[in-house]
Amino acid sequence: MTLQQIRLVIAAAIACLVAAPFVLNPFSITLLNYIGIYSLAAIGLALLTGVGGIVSFGQAAFVGVAAYSTAWVTALNGYSPWLGLVLAVVLTCSIAAILGFVTLRLGGHFLSLSTVAWGLAIAFLFGNINGLGQHNGISGIPPISIGPIALVESKQIYFLIWAIVVAVLLLCYNLLDSRIGRAMRALRGGNTLVESLGISAFQIKLVTFVIAAFLGALSGWLYAHLGRFVSPGPFEAGMGIEYLMMAMVGGAGSVLGGVVGAAIVTLLKNTVQDYLPLIAKGASGQLEIVAFSALFILFLQRARQGIVPFLAGFLPDLKQSRPEVAEPLPLRDKPEPGTLLLKVREAQRRFGGLVAVNNVSFEVKSGEILGLIGPNGAGKTTMFNLLTGALRTNSGEIAFAGRSITRDQQFHIARAGISRTFQHVKLRPRMTLLDNVLLGTYSRTRTGLFAGALRLNQAEEASARYEALMQLERVGLGDKPFELAGNLPLGNQRVLEIARALAADPTLLVLDEPAAGLRRQEKLKLAELLRSLRAEHLTILLVEHDMEFVMSLVDRIVVLDFGSKLCEGEPAAIRSDARVQEAYLGGVA
C-alpha cells in the first residue's frame, strides 16, 4: 500500500465524518459524540497500556477529575468552559505527574494494582466532597461556546469533538514516529535495554502517563459540556475497566484502535441494553455486566491482539522509502588513542552468598580491543553489567574517561559513551530493523515531545534515519531496513544489536558474545567489522567463548575464573599460560 493510497483512505474517512451529522438522526449523532469522547480516553490507554506496557485501571478517574474541574469552574463559579479546560488539563496532568512519580517505579503487577487503588480513591472523593455535590453531582453546566456560537445541540458539539479526535490521532501518529515515541514503543519488554540506550525509562513512562491523563482530561472536559451534568458514577472503577476494554478490543498497541474500540464497546453496550430487557425483565442491569464480561472473555480468546492490528495484517505492507542522504549527526569527541579510558579497581558484586565478581581490577586504553574470557559462570556478564550500570557494585570503583561512574545510573553511563550488546539478545521484535537502530541514536538527538508530535524537527529525524541506515549497511543488514527485527535469525539479531550500539557513536563498545550463533563466514565478517572499528580508534571490550575469534582479534585479554581475575596479557601469553589452560581451556590450547 502506498502513502498516497493511505492518504486517500484518510480523506474519505474524514469526508464521512463531516457528512455524518447531515444524514444521521439525532440519537445516532449523540452516540457518535460519546464514541468520540470515549475514544480520547481510550487512545490515552492505547498509548499507556498498548504502547508503553503499563496496564492502568485508573483512566476513568482522570476523566472524572477533568469533568469535575470544568463543572466547578463553569456551573459553580460562572466562568467560561475554556477556563474550565485550562483547569481540567492542569489539574489532571498535575495529579497524574504526582501519582506517576510515586508509583511508576513499582514493577509489574504492583503498578497496575496501584492504578486500581488511586482510581478508587479519586472516584470516592467525587461522591464525598461537599463542594462537588456529593452523590447528586453538579448540574447546570453551560455549553462550550466558540465566539458567539454556543454548542448547544449534539450536531454542533459533534464537530468540535471529532476535530479534537482527528487532531489527537494525527499528533499521536507523529509522536510515535519520533524520537520520544520510539522510546515509548521500546518501553514494552523491560527497562534494561531502554536504559542502555541512554533513555531514562522512568522519564519516558512518566511522560506517557501524563499524556494518557491529558487525553483523559480532554475527554472529561467534553463529557461534562455534552451532558451538562456530572455525577460520580461514570468515573468509577467499572468505567476504568471499560476504557481498558475499549483500548484492548481496538488493539492496545494502536491509537486508531482506541477509536475503533470505543465505537465497538459503545455500540455493543447499546445493543445489549436494547435486547437484554426482552430476555430478563427486571434484572437487565446486572445481566448487562455478565453478558459484557462473557463477550470480553470470548474476545480475549479469539482476537487478543485487537481489531485494528488484526485487520492491518490483511493489508499490503506500507511501501516506505529508504532514508535519503542527510546531514550527518554530530560525533562525540574521542580520547587520544593509547590514553586510559576505563579503570576498574577492586570491583565486587555479590548475589546473596555468591561472589560473582570478586575484587577485579583492570584497565582499558583508548583504541584497543580487550577480550574478557573465562569459563561459564566466571562473572564476565556480571562484570559487563557493572561497567554499564545495569548492576551496582557492592564495593570498588569504576572510572570512565577520567570520571567515576560507580554510582551513575545506567542511562547516564550510556549517554557518557558506553554502548553495549547483550548476551541474551534484547531487541524490540515488533519494530523494524531501522527503528531498532534509530533507538541507538537517542542520546545523539534532541527532538522533544512537542517537536516530535508537530513534526517540527524533520532535519534531525532525517539525519538520524540516514545514520541508522548507514549502520545497518555497515553490519550487512542494509538491504531490508523495514523488516521486523523479530523475523531475523538469532545470529543476525546479534549483529543488529551491534548496529544499534554503533548508532550511539560510542567511545567504548561493550560486546557480550557477539559471535554466538554466527556461521563461520559471518564470524569472519564480524571480525573484519571489529577490526575496521579499531582502525577508527573505537575502543572495544569483548566477551566471547570462541577462542579462535578472540585470539585473532584482541590486543589484550583479561581472564576471569570463579569471579576473580586469574591473569591478563597479550593473546599469545594467555594461550600458553598454564593457569589459563588448567582453569579455562582444560589443557587443550
Ligand X SMILES: Nc1ncnc2c1ncn2[C@@H]1O[C@H](COP(=O)(O)OP(=O)(O)OP(=O)(O)O)[C@@H](O)[C@H]1O
Residue 105 beta carbon to ligand X: minimum distance, rounded to whole angstroms: 19
Which 8-state DSSP code applies to residue 48?
Answer: I
Binds ligand X by CB under 6 A, chosen from 381, 443, 447, 463 = 381
Judge contact between 539 and 364, C-beta under 8 A. Answer: yes
Residues 321-380 within binding reach of ligand X (CB under 6 A)? 351, 354, 356, 374, 376-380
Residue 350 beta carbon to ligand X: minimum distance, rounded to whole angstroms: 9
Q: What does the block give as the cell for 384?
A: 559487563
173: Cβ–Cβ under 8 A, 6 or more apart, which residues?
Answer: 255
188: Cβ–Cβ under 8 A, 6 or more apart, which residues?
Answer: 51, 52, 53, 428
Nearest to 91 by CA among 63, 117, 116, 56: 63
Closer Cβ to ligand X, 80 or 423, answer by number:
423
Residue 422 beta carbon to ligand X: minimum distance, rounded to whole angstroms: 11
Q: What does the block give as the cell for 168?
A: 489527537
Residue 232 beta carbon to ligand X: minimum distance, rounded to whole angstroms: 46
Q: Residue with C-alpha cell 570512565?
A: 400
Binding mask 382-411 for ligand X (x = CB under 6 A): x-----------------------------
Binding mask 120-149 for ligand X (x = CB under 6 A): ------------------------------
Judge contact between 63 and 237, C-beta under 8 A. Answer: no
Sign of CA dihedral 522, 528, 532, 535: positive
CA–CA separation, 120 and 238 (whole Å): 10
Closer Cβ to ligand X, 145 or 394, answer by number:
394
Nearest to 215 by CA among 391, 82, 362, 39: 39
Closer Cβ to ligand X, 180 or 541, answer by number:
541
The answer to whether residue 494 forms part of the interface with ligand X (CB under 6 A) is no
Closer Cβ to ligand X, 214 or 422, answer by number:
422
Q: What does the block give as the cell for 227?
A: 451532558
Buried b (16+ CB within 10 A) or exposed e, 129-158: eeebbeeebbeebbbbeeeeeebeebbbbb
Q: What does the block give as the cell for 215?
A: 487525553
Residue 380 beta carbon to ligand X: minimum distance, rounded to whole angstroms: 4
Closer Cβ to ligand X, 334 or 380, answer by number:
380
DSSP bridge pairs for 559 = 373, 567
CA–CA separation, 357 and 458 (whole Å): 46
Residue 45 beta carbon to ligand X: minimum distance, rounded to whole angstroms: 33
Closer Cβ to ligand X, 356 or 541, answer by number:
356
487: Cβ–Cβ under 8 A, 6 or more apart, which residues?
Answer: none
Closer Cβ to ligand X, 37 or 383, answer by number:
383
Closer Cβ to ligand X, 279 or 354, answer by number:
354
Closer Cβ to ligand X, 356 or 498, answer by number:
356
Size of the site for ligand X (CB under 6 A): 12
Q: What does the block give as the cell for 171?
A: 499528533
Closer Cβ to ligand X, 211 or 574, answer by number:
574
Residue 381 beta carbon to ligand X: minimum distance, rounded to whole angstroms: 3
Residue 383 beta carbon to ligand X: minimum distance, rounded to whole angstroms: 7
Residue 388 beta carbon to ligand X: minimum distance, rounded to whole angstroms: 13
Residue 187 beta carbon to ligand X: minimum distance, rounded to whole angstroms: 22
Q: What does the block give as the cell for 454?
A: 508537530
Sign of CA dihedral 413, 110, 220, 246: positive
Q: How many other β-carbons are positioned within 10 Å of the β-carbon of residue 237?
A: 17
Residues 157-176 within binding reach of ligand X (CB under 6 A)? none
337: Cβ–Cβ under 8 A, 6 or more apart, which residues?
Answer: 365, 366, 367, 537
What is the dihedral angle through the alpha carbons of 56, 61, 63, 68, rounded to the nearest 10 degrees?
Answer: -170
Closer Cβ to ligand X, 276 or 370, answer by number:
370
Nearest to 496 by CA among 553, 440, 414: 440
Binds ligand X by CB under 6 A, chosen from 348, 394, 423, 564 = 423
Closer Cβ to ligand X, 217 or 390, answer by number:
390
Residue 359 beta carbon to ligand X: minimum distance, rounded to whole angstroms: 15
Closer Cβ to ligand X, 380 or 523, answer by number:
380
Residue 201 beta carbon to ligand X: minimum distance, rounded to whole angstroms: 18
Residue 560 beta carbon to ligand X: minimum distance, rounded to whole angstroms: 6
Nearest to 485 by CA among 207, 189, 263, 174: 189
Instruction: State the alpha helices, DSSP H only, in 480-542.
Output: 490-502, 520-535
Q: What does the block give as the cell for 264?
A: 465497538
Which spans of this chain sit near ligand X (rule: CB under 6 A)? 351, 354, 356, 374, 376-382, 423
